[in-house]
Structure 1
């Protein structure tokens, strides 16, 4: 059960969480945008 919750949190943190420091993008979106100008 704990492992499943941890996987869900990591997925949220990397794909859905919005950071103002990253111009309102999630970390994955920001990295993708930075790699493809």
Structure 2
């Protein structure tokens, strides 16, 4: 992640929260059988 254009700590916090949301909800992971972490967790809870 590039924080060089952030002017305040609040901008950094927002950027980090956005990335965490992207990572958990949209980014498919090969080690999780090509699912997102949220999808994989949901699958484990149903089983």
Q: Does 1:19 align with 2:29?
A: yes
Unaligned stretches of 5+ residues in structure 2:
1-10
How far residue 14 of structure 1 moved from its aligned partner, in angstroms, is: 0.8
The residue number in structure 1 matching 2:42 is 32
Unaligned stretches of 5+ residues in structure 1:
none
> What is the count of residue pairs matched by the alignment?
37
The residue number in structure 1 matching 2:18 is 8
| 1:1-37 CA distance string (max 9 Å, x none) | 1111011001011111100111110001001011113
Runs of 4 or more off by more than 2 Å in structure 1? none
Structure 1 length as normaliser, TM-score? 0.86
Structure 2 length as normaliser, TM-score? 0.71
